[in-house]
Structure formats: structure tokens, C-alpha cells
Amino acid sequence: MQNSPLAGRLGWAEFEYDFAKDGGAIGTIALGEKILPPGALILGGLIWVKTACLGTNGTMQLMAVGADDILAATNVSALTLNALIDVVPVYTAATAVRCTAHTRLTMTIATTAFTAGVVFIGLAWGFGD
């Protein structure tokens, strides 16, 4: 039996963001380094709210390639302590996100700033060129 040429081509990208330490102003925030390789297919993942997010009525949206491809705008009221939130890719071809270049995750804060909270974002990806 021969191994698939895709064997060993799976990865896990992790991002952690602390609004109190790193800021939560309205706008777009680049998260970490460009760690998703060209050709990566984001297959699924989750968001874990390690510390409840605070803000009057703000929303958080996450994207890798296009708007809402990881998380549609989500109100701060849903980002409670230990909340687990699904990402858009759910291990199907229809929801997978393809990165054409080295890619970094970005977060957009809208409506009002976030003043506190820590979120962990984990994304499963595969294939890469």
C-alpha cells in the first residue's frame, strides 16, 4: 500500500487575542503572523472565549480571505466566559476556505470597542501547495 501524497499535510493554526492587552478599538486588527501557507484549505475549527469579552454593543468578525469566511459579525453579548463558538468552515467542501498566498487571520471590531476579554481561535487546515 502506498501513502497518499497528502499524508502529513494537515495543520492546526492557533491565534489568541487579549483585548485588554492588545487593544479592541473599532477597526481591523491583524492577528499574529501569516501562518497559513499558500494553498491551505481551512476545513474547520472553533473559537473559545477564555475570558468574557466586554464592550457596550460591539461586534467581532473574523476573516482569512473574504468577509465573514471564518466568523460573521457576532455581538459581544455572545462572547461569554468559556463560550465555544463554531467557525464558518464545517469540514465540508462548500464551506472550506482556500488561501492563495501566505495568510494571516484578521479581526474586525465594529459598533463599539471591546475593552476586555480573551479569545482563542483554532483552525484546522489541510493540503497547502
- The percent of residues in the chain predicted with pLDDT above 90, rounded, is 78
Domains and CATH numbers, the chain: 10-127 (2.60.120)
pLDDT value, residue 7: 52
pLDDT tens by residue, the chain, 129 residues: 445 555 557 889 899 999 999 999 999 999 988 778 888 999 999 999 999 999 989 999 999 999 999 999 999 999 999 999 999 999 999 999 999 999 999 999 999 999 999 999 999 999 866
Tell me the HSE value of 77 on the side-chain side, using a 13 A CA sphere.
Answer: 3
pLDDT value, residue 4: 54
pLDDT value, residue 1: 41
pLDDT value, residue 8: 54
Its pTM stands at 0.87
Place of cell 471564518: 70
- The percent of residues in the chain predicted with pLDDT above 70, rounded, is 92
- For residues 32-71, b (16+ Cβ closer than 10 Å) or e, as one string? eeebbbeebbbbbbebebebebbbeebbbbbbbeeeebbb
pLDDT value, residue 88: 97
Place of cell 483552525: 123
